[in-house]
Amino acid sequence: MKSYLAAAVQMNSQPDLGKNLAQAEEAIQLAVNRGADLVCLPENFSFLGDEAAKAQLAAEIAQESEQFLKMAAQRYQVTLLGGGYPVPVAEDGRKFWNTALLVNPEGEEVARYQKIHLFDVNLPDGNTYCESATIAPGQVLPPVCCSERLGCLGLSICYDVRFPELYRYLARQGAQIFLVPAAFTAYTGKDHWQVLLQARAIENTCYVIAPAQTGKHNPMRQSHGHAVVVDPWGVVLADAGEGVGVAIAEIDPARLEQVRRQMPSLQHCAVDRLLTGATAA
């Protein structure tokens, strides 16, 4: 891996597929014009609104989203992450998988991941979220995709960031960069978004690229924003703030090597050894 620029896109997606894809392409073009080789779109980049409406349109959204990602990656000659869109569950027309798709500059699918942790919470601000009402949880751990150009990318989606064991698993599989596309709520984001991302970076000595949704999507739903790129020491290298835009920063293998040499916590972790010993005993 050589040094390259990565972009975390920040969008304000609405329940309008065509407008969202146009907004996404504008952001991709902006990122590529600024030199990005890896561009990451947030969760729900192609549709964000009422979950029941999204479920009804899931098949159309899935088809249009995948076609768009492959077209845009090839057109702009960039590796592109579509951070999350609905794909109908074949055996259950009522539900869909929240799917992230990674596409290479040839327009070919590199990997896909179906979100395994679903956001079912009652927040103190009065809002209730129940993803499991329309989303089926993925049954496979996320992949780590390695290339000579971009290094090893570990996939995840939004609520996953609250489960550190998932990121330790990705690090054990060789991940050097975590991709965390999200639509974090404004209420939780103000307290938890940045600190969680920094924690995942620090404890695994990995870069984190976290594209995000921002602003209001309907009268009840508002996202936090602050798409960021975080380095392996936990330093925020770029922050998109609260408006629509792009956070771009350098992914530097020398910096990754330096941090891992200075803080070799992945090598020092005794949990696996002790668990293996306990099992053997």
- HEC-encoded secondary structure of the chain: CCCEEEEEEEECCCCCHHHHHHHHHHHHHHHHHCCEEEEEECCCCCCCCCHHHHHHCHHHHHHHHHHHHHHHHHHHCCEEEEEEEEEEECCEEEEEEEEEEEECCCCCEEEEEECCCCCEEECCCCCEEEHHHCECCCCCCCCEEEECCCEEEEECCHHHHHCHHHHHHHHHCCCCEEECCCCCEHHHHHHHHHHHHHHHHHHHCCEEEECEEEEEEECCEEEECCCEEECCCCCEEEECCCCCEEEEEEECHHHHHHHHHHCCHHHHCCHHHHHHHHHHC
Of 115, 131, 145, 206, which residue is the catalytic one? 115
Low-confidence ranges of the chain (pLDDT < 50): 281
The confidence score (pLDDT) of residue 271 equals 86
Q: How many CB atoms lie within 10 A of CB 134?
A: 18
Task: Choose, from 54, 64, 66, 158, the residue flagged as catalytic.
Answer: 158
Q: Give the CATH fold of the 4-280 domain.
A: Nitrilase/N-carbamoyl-D-aminoacid amidohydrolase (3.60.110)
pLDDT of residue 10: 98
Question: Contact 26/18 with Cβ under 8 angstroms?
Answer: no
Q: Exactly one of 40, 43, 66, 206 is catalytic; which is it?
A: 43
First to last CA, the chain: 41
pLDDT at residue 91, as a whole number: 67
| Residue 243 and residue 12 in contact, taking contact as beta carbons nearer than 8 Å | no
Return the pLDDT at 279. Answer: 56
In angstroms, rounded to a whole number, what is the distance separating the alpha carbons of residues 9 and 227?
7
Is 115 known to be catalytic? yes
Q: What is the pLDDT of residue 21?
A: 98
Whether 152 is catalytic: no
The DSSP bridge partners found for residue 245 are 10
